């Protein structure tokens, strides 16, 4: 560490992305939050309609929920690397074959944020898996799911369309699984474009 970097750390020490406490310079989260996240158990189900299997690294609470917020609303992009590491380490090997496809963002969200959280997570995971990355889906219309109740989300799923031929085996990646309505819309679009197997991987799941 050079002298300028040392002074910088003294003036503005690195803060945990989850709790805001100080942490090691090379760490995204502090030791306490790291231990808490490590204690979370992954979740595996048959998935919503159109999904062969749905795996999530943790329930949407505590440190895991804070990390989702840090990526989506505070644009802490290193969090996507931490998320992808956890998925890569913990997801069962038999699920991980295929091309990584991010769940597409709502156009207004993409414009306002200036980046795509699911896209960042998908790119980081594809790099770790040595897998192809194919952003072959697009979301139409102006609506988005955040802030809507469960019944409304299910009744009015997002409009997802393929932008070309889909991979035969897909790892569909998103940050959070809520009702499954978005994943189902994605799966239907993928299968209409040639996908035969669709596995959903998310960092958290709302229970």
* Model confidence at 148: pLDDT above 80: no
Q: What is the pLDDT at residue 47?
A: 85
Structure tokens at 195: 């996908």
Q: Which of 190, 181, 100, 187 is nearest to 143 (CA)?
A: 181
Separation CA 15–CA 30 (nearest Å) = 8
Q: What is the pLDDT at residue 133?
A: 98
* pLDDT tens-digit map of 83-115: 999 999 999 999 999 999 999 999 988 999 999
pLDDT band at 142 (very low <50, low <70, confident <90, very high): low
pLDDT band at 25 (very low <50, low <70, confident <90, very high): confident
* Model confidence at 51: pLDDT above 90: yes
Q: What is the pLDDT at residue 152?
A: 57
Q: What is the DSSP letter of 29?
A: S
CB burial of 189-203 (b: ≥16 within 10 Å; e: otherwise) equals: bbbebebebbbbbbb
Q: What is the pLDDT at residue 81?
A: 98
CB-based contacts of 59, cutoff 8 Å, min separation 6: 40, 43, 204, 205, 206, 207
* Model confidence at 30: pLDDT above 80: yes
Q: What is the DSSP letter of 94?
A: G
Per CATH, domain 41-205 is 3.40.50 = yes
> How far is it between the farthest Cα atoms of the chain?
58
Separation CA 179–CA 205 (nearest Å) = 9
Angle at 62 between CA 117 and CA 179, to 5 degrees: 55
Structure tokens at 4: 């300028």
By CB neighbour count within 10 A (0-12 exposed, 13-18 middle, 19+ buried), where does 100 fall? buried
Separation CA 188–CA 198 (nearest Å) = 10
Separation CA 124–CA 118 (nearest Å) = 10
* Model confidence at 196: pLDDT above 90: yes
Q: What is the DSSP letter of 24?
A: -
Helices (H), 51-97: 62-74, 78-90
* Model confidence at 5: pLDDT above 60: no
């Amino acid at each position: 560490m050079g002298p300028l970097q040392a002074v910088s750390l003294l003036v503005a020490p690195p803060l945990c992305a989850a709790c805001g406490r100080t942490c090691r310079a090379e760490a995204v989260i502090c030791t306490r939050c790291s231990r808490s996240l490590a204690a979370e158990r992954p979740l595996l189900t048959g998935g919503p309609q159109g999904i062969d299997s749905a795996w999530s690294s943790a329930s949407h609470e505590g440190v895991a929920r804070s990390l989702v917020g840090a990526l989506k609303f505070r644009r802490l992009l290193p969090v996507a690397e931490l998320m992808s590491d956890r998925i890569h380490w913990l997801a069962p090997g038999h699920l991980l074959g295929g091309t990584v496809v991010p769940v597409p963002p709502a156009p207004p969200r993409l414009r306002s944020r200036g980046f795509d959280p699911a896209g960042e997570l998908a790119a980081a995971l594809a790099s770790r898996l040595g897998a192809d990355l194919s952003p072959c889906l697009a979301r139409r219309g102006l609506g988005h799911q955040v802030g809507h109740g469960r019944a409304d989300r299910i009744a009015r799923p997002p409009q997802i369309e393929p932008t070309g031929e889909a991979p035969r085996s897909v790892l569909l990646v998103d940050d959070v699984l809520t009702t499954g309505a978005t994943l189902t819309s994605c799966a239907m679009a993928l299968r209409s474009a040639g996908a035969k197997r669709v596995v959903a991987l998310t960092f958290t799941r709302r229970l």
